[in-house]
Amino acid sequence: FVGLVCGFVLTQQQAAAAATNAPDPTTTSMVAPRSTATAKPAEPNQNEQPVNQQTSTQKAVTNTDNVSETVNQNQIPRNQSTGSPATTTAEQTTTVNNNPTASAPTQQAAASSASKANETTQPVSQPTAPAATDPQVETIAQGTWGTSKWEYTHQGADYILHFHAGTLGTSSHKTIKDPLDNYQMHYFGSISVSPEVFNGNWQLSRELTHIIIDPGVKANQNSSSLFAGLYKLQQIVGLANLDTTNVTDMSYMFNSCQNLTSLDLSNFNTINVTDMSWMFEDCWELINLDLSNFNTTNVTDMHDMFYGCGLTSLDLSSFNTSKVTNMSEMFAWSERLTSLDLSSFNTANVTDISSMFSWCIGLISLDLSNFNTTNVTDMREMFEDCRELINLDLSHFNTAKVTNMYGMFNDCQSLTNLNLSNFNTANVTDMQDMFYNCDSLTSLDLSSFNTAKVTNMEAMFSSCSSLTSLDLSNFNTANVTSMDAMFMYCMKLTSLNLSNFDTAKVTDMRGMFGSCTELTSLDISNFDTSKAVDMTSIFFESPNLNHLILGPKIECKYVYLPKVPDTGTRLLGTDRVVASPYWVATSGYQQGHKYTSNDLMELTGRDQV
């Protein structure tokens, strides 16, 4: 068959000889070759301008971005106007396997390119170090995924996966234990675990630095976890070539691509996508993300979409969220975000916004005035650790269906104002940690709160160290079982009237008023501690408590009342001084009796001390 059809086929011997004796650096498969320290330099061309010594990765990106046509590796390109073989230029990409045992079609492409090696001098913009100085392109693996042929090569410091025209295979993923650390788990996606690609090969997945996508590559309908778990992936060249028209699932698509810094998805067709959950999760170094043409009309799930991203800003103005039902953790742990414009968001169908902004520690403002929360049932940890937020206006929030407000404002350390006047909490069952460590709040209006169904108030106001007063006169605590550390470290509170509290079902009161260092007066006369299993340290480190109103159903045996101050000690906030080191009953049938703290803890049947 030698010479058949104008040189379309060469003998294997000719191809091998050409590939061995005259390799052409302009026809490398992925990256322009780089010089090695030990290679012998070739004689310079006297008529050639000096070459700008860029890295191979830089040249590969420049050349690939300008490709207008990708050459089929199984044939030599033809000049369409003359019918003669086309000359391969620096702006075309052809696959070459430098392995002497390479397949015939690959050798044919190499031979054709090699025959041009000495005919012309390459342009200055193309690095053309002679073959003797070039690192070898090592083909590590190759195959077909779906209908797309691929090869995985090693060149210099780069490991490159190149996909050719065809439809990629379906999604798969696996969580794999780190072989060096039994406690560390790693999430790997389709490329890593698919039997048709890396098949779970740990080393290949952890080495991959670049992906090249040719025109004609189509994403599978299920593209979940497509690039997930490629921890060292630095760049996807030709991402605009990826046809996503038929994709319905993009969940986990770039999950844990921890070295990607930029993604331009402006050419993605997302009209049929319904799931974008976890799409960019843990893209820690991602600082540029173009979603300007995203069509999210049919998306229903966006939970954890930007979880743990390195982005400082996000333009989501094109987002249509009218069908989205789940936005939980959508921006959680995006610690570098300083602003977020969600004015285009339609949240009418959203039911879950739990942890939506959790750990957005860089956010200094957040306008949610357009949020419709009519159908939301879960708001737990919604603003947890938004440490720089100063104001939040949630006065328009409809919370009638919400059942969980656990940790909703937990650790919002800079909040000075919080308007919850319209909150309907009639269906809420969990308020644990709701205002925990809101240490800049000086007051809270909770007069609208209906707490009839709440069972957990553990640490609800704990560490609100700037609160000076708290009116809980409307609180219904009949179903509460835990008040553990409820007011602990409220160090500016001077008094608390909890006479309306029903504690008949409470089992845990540990540290309830612990470290309320300025608390001087406390009315808990209505408390029933008969079900309380643990009341240890209920008054721990509350040294200024001097007026305590107790009731007949309070068992104080293990409450550890503070020691009465020494005689002559001035009582905080008063002109009075301690006359004797005892608690004195001021009313009731025990009026006038004196007790040490230990005596009082053992006492039963009193109504006021």
DSSP three-state, residue 64: helix
Nearest-CA neighbor of 401 among 421, 423, 379, 377? 377
- Measure the CA dihedral 56/59/61/65, to 10°: -150
DSSP character at residue 388 = T
| Average pLDDT of span 295-311 | 98
Nearest CA among 318, 331, 310, 208 for reference residue 263: 310
Other CB atoms within a 10 A radius of the CB of residue 569 amount to 15
Selection from 428, 318, 409 nearest residue 366 by Cα: 409
SS3 labels along 448-506: CCCCCCCCECCCCCCCCCCCCCCCCCCCCCCCCCECCCCCCCCCCCCEEECCCCCCCCC
Three-state DSSP state, 133: helix
User: Using DSSP, how many helices (H) and how many strands (E) does the chain show?
Assistant: 7, 18
Residue 598 half-sphere exposure toward CB, CA atoms < 13 A:
0
**55 has a pLDDT exceeding 60:** no
Angle at 549 between CA 545 and CA 554, to 5 degrees: 110
* Cα dist from 511 to 480, 489, 534, whole Å: 16, 10, 9
Between residues 200 and 478, the one the model is more confident about: 478
Buried b or exposed e, range 36-75, using 16+ CB within 10 angstroms: eeebeeeeeeeeeeeeeeeebbebbbebbeebeebbbbee
DSSP string covering 161-228: EEE-SEE------EEEEETTEEEEEEEE-HHHH-TTTTTT-HHHHHH--EEEE-TTEE--SB-TTSST
- The answer to whether residue 555 scores a pLDDT higher than 90 is no
Q: Which residues pair with 187 in a beta bridge?
A: 175
Task: Report pLDDT digits (tens) over 385-397.
Answer: 999 999 999 999 9
Q: What residue segments make up the domains of the chain, in order of their start?
A: 1-31+54-119, 455-609
Q: Average pLDDT over the chain, rounded to whole?
A: 80
How many Å apart are CA 200 and CA 281, to the nearest integer?
21
How would residue 8 be classed by pLDDT, with cut points 50, 70 and 90?
A: very low
When pLDDT is averaged across residues 219-239 and rounded to a whole number, the result is: 97
Residue pointed to by tokens 């008040």? 483
Pair of tokens at residue 43: 């004689």
pLDDT in tens, 480-520: 999 999 999 999 999 899 989 999 999 999 999 999 999 99
Of 156, 261, 275, 149, nearest to 216 by C-alpha is 149
Share of the chain above pLDDT 70, in %: 76
Match 């609100």 to its residue by tokens.
464
The answer to whether the CB of 485 falls within 8 A of the CB of 458 is: yes
Please say whether the beta carbons of 171 and 224 come within 8 A.
yes
The pLDDT of residue 224 is above 60: yes
| Exposure letters 383-411 (e unless 16+ CB within 10 A, then b) | bbbbbbbeebebeebebebbbbbbbbbbb
Q: What is the mean pLDDT of residues 172-194?
A: 82
pLDDT at 97: 38
Question: What is the pLDDT, as a whole number, of residue 606?
Answer: 52
Q: Is residue 21 helix, strand or coil?
A: helix
- The Cα-based distances of 318 to 260, 294, 372 in angstroms read 23, 7, 18
> What pLDDT does 79 receive?
34
Alpha-carbon distance of 582 to 594, in angstroms, equals 6
Residue 590: count of CB within 10 angstroms of its CB: 17
The two beta strands, 138-145 and 583-584, are unpaired
- Give mean pLDDT, residues 183-192: 86
pLDDT of residue 42: 40
